[in-house]
């Protein structure tokens, strides 16, 4: 008899435990693995809120701004656009995926040496519109000066065949210099040459802010990494 009583008590205890709620921490961030899977889905899906369609929409906006500036340009105006490189002109998705969204300098540098960047079609479309309309194109990148030859070759191989100039970060730049300070400084050099920067396109806000700013700035989507 006592055996059956024990079994009944055990069953009741198990049932009570099963019915109890789980105390979870408040405001816990989304699990990192879930975020990474969401990023992969975002990159590959085709709905309007996905990466590719958003790139195309931003390119349409950029080209609209470019056409507006051309329509109001005065004789003798030297019009220019500025393009960032990584995740703007060229995609490094292969190495991002390989490194599981971490930043491993050796892998990023190898990607540059191997010229593995792939043209982002929407940005190439902006470039081709500027080229067709005789608007000077300048590239400003945070890549170091030592990567100039590989960067230029990669751009040309991916269809960015003519540009006015390519600005890379000097090897001896001040260590406390921010990206926005460096990039706005190079925009100032372009303006000093008599150009009107009518459009600036980048995937980070640090590509776009700081004086002088372009007359129109367009940010491309990039939830994969952040450069302050």
pLDDT score, position 173: 85
Residue 123: CB atoms within 10 A of its CB come to: 25
Percent above pLDDT 70 for the chain: 92
Q: Please identify, in words, the CATH class of the domain defined by 33-219.
A: alpha beta
Lowest mean pLDDT among 146-155, 169-178, 219-228: 169-178
Residue 14: CB atoms within 10 A of its CB come to: 10
For helices 121-132 and 51-72, angle between their N-to-C axes, nearest 10 degrees: 10
Residue 176 scores a pLDDT above 50: yes
pLDDT band at residue 15 under the 50/70/90 scheme: low
pLDDT band at residue 7 under the 50/70/90 scheme: very low
- pTM for the model: 0.89
- Per-chain mean pLDDT for the chain: 93
Give residue-wise pLDDT tens across range 92-138: 999 999 999 999 999 999 999 999 999 999 999 999 999 999 999 99
Q: How many CA atoms lie within 13 A of 58 on its CB side?
A: 25
Report how far apart, in Å, the C-alpha atoms of 147 and of each of 15, 96, 112, 115, 117 are: 65, 19, 7, 10, 13
């Amino acid at each position: 008899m006592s055996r059956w009583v024990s079994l009944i008590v055990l069953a009741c205890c198990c049932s009570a435990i099963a019915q109890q709620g789980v105390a979870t921490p408040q405001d816990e961030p989304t699990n990192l693995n879930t975020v990474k899977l969401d990023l992969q889905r975002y990159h590959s899906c085709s709905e309007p809120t996905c990466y590719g369609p958003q790139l195309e929409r931003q390119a349409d906006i950029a080209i609209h701004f470019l056409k507006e500036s051309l329509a109001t340009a005065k004789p003798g105006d030297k019009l220019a656009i500025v393009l960032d490189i990584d995740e703007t002109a060229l995609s490094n998705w292969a190495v991002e995926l390989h490194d599981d969204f971490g930043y491993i300098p050796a892998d990023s540098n190898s990607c540059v040496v191997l010229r593995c960047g792939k043209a982002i079609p929407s940005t190439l479309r902006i470039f081709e519109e500027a080229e067709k309309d005789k608007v000077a194109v300048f590239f400003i990148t945070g890549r170091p000066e030592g990567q100039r030859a590989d960067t230029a070759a990669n751009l040309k191989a991916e269809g960015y065949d003519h540009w006015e100039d390519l600005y890379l970060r000097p090897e001896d730049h001040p260590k406390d210099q921010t990206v926005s300070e460096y990039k706005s400084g190079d925009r100032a050099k372009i303006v000093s040459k008599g150009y009107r920067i009518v459009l600036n396109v980048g995937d980070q806000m640090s590509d776009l802010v700081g004086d002088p700013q372009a007359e129109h700035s367009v940010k491309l989507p990039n939830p994969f990494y952040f450069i302050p």
